[in-house]
Amino acid sequence: MNLLFRKLYLYMLMVLVISLLLTGLVTAMIFNTRHEGLVRNVIRNQVVFVGRELAKTQRRAPNSLPERMQELGDDLGWNIALWEQGQLLHSTLPNPPLPPQDLNERLRKENYVLSWDFPGRPQVWISQSFPRMGFRLRNRVLWLQPRLSQLSRPAGAPLLAFVLILLILGLLLLPLTRFLLKPYRKLQTAIQALAQGDFSQKLESQQMREFEPLVSSFNHMSSQLAEMLSQKQRLIADVSHELRSPLTRLRMLLEILHQQAPEQADLLEKGIAETEELDHIIQDLLDISRLELDQLPLNKSRQDLRSLVFESLERHEPLMEQKGLKIEAKMPETAVMVDVDRERLNQVFNNLFSNLSKYVPDLSCVSLQIEVQADQALFHLRDQGPGLTAPDLEKIFEPFYRPDTSRSRRTGGTGLGLAISRRIARAHGGDLRASLPQDGGLALHLSLPLAAA
């Protein structure tokens, strides 16, 4: 999303810059054509004025001509030089340019010669005759040039204005880009939720008219996926339910044979154990299907979380003693009351503690803790087992997922225990998550809302 935002923003900014440059170019062409004429008139008037003033000074006070040239140059911002027959008489700057070779010929046709590559600095040559020694005249050439072109000097101002306008428009483009991408953000959020398994996501086509065909396809896909998942869960539930009846009859037959054929007691007991294991798997399938379909009823009552943990520990105590597991428990001194379905929560703890007897190494230590934070009761279970990889921390709560296939074949199980436990916790308004302690092992964290006082 951020990449698309940057691309769209840069594209709009590039279009804006090109538009401003083209507009400025066309405006400059029109402006230069008109402004050049205006500036030429101003220059012509100033040149005529300077020529007249110097002519007056030459007639009235020839010795003060250099001072008058400097004074006019400072007041009007001109560099001035006076040439006579190719010789420099006076100048307001050192090393003024020499008169062009064809200047005299051009001055016979015109009163003055203007040399100017607009908008650079112009040069003006003007021919005047100054009286000297009575009525004797000698031709002189006056050279003038602005010290700083009025057109080249303010070039920084338009550039600064251009940068400021571009900056302001660039800032305005940020909310505009976000506004244009708002429908796409909604669509992306809905797709991400759909990828996480939330098939209830629906988009309003009236609020996203630009993406109406895409919105319609997305809503149709979401509905189809939700229907397919519902059908799959109903199929699993129905098949599991249908398997219960013949499995129950098979177990009854094995128990009858066990009574009538004592010499085959060992084989029959193994058969009964296998049917019980199969019954347990079918029950897990039924539970996960009902939880996925929100059809698992909860008979909630006020329970002390500490008592539920200790009861489950007692049921698994023989297996833990057989493995030599050391239990370190840290419990509050007062009751931690939660409003839960006692049977379902026992199912959660049975799944957690049975995993200890399957996967935790012998003679290792297991720590469990109950604490209260705000309006939540927290149960922490930490072992010193082989642990998991970081990508497996969420996958272990998916149905039928087993991180180590070979280990699962040795220890049994279908990969439904943690999936059922998390869904039971969430059905109570809590959650079950996993983490990896820094010193190894695996930690599971169960959270449940506290019962109302």
Residue 341: what are its φ and ψ, rounded to 5°?
A: -85, 110
**Spatial distance between the Cα atoms of 419 and 313, rounded to a whole number of angstroms:** 21
Distance CA 300, CA 330 (A): 26
Beta bridge partners of 301: 340
In terms of C-beta density within 10 A (0-12 exposed, 13-18 middle, 19 or more buried), how is residue 292 classed?
A: buried
**Got the DSSP string for 244-273?**
HHHHHHHHHHHHHHHHH-GGGHHHHHHHHH
Residue the block writes with tokens 């006020």: 302
Residue 206, token pair as written in the block: 């009236």
Residue with token string 């309006």? 375
> CA geometry: angle at 358 spanning 352 and 364, to 5°?
90
Exposure string of 331-361, with b = 16+ CB inside 10 Å and e = fewer, is: eeeeebbbbbbeebbbbbbebbbbbbebbbe
| 38 touches 49 (CB < 8 A) | no
Structure tokens, 314: 């007692």
Distance CA 252, CA 279 (A): 13
Is 360:325 a contact under the CB 8 Å cutoff? yes
Candidate list 35, 90, 220, 241, residue with the active-site label: 241
355 neighbors 348 (Cβ within 8 angstroms): no
Other beta carbons less than 10 A from residue 417's beta carbon: 21
The reply to whether 428 belongs to the active site is no
The catalytic residue positions are: 241
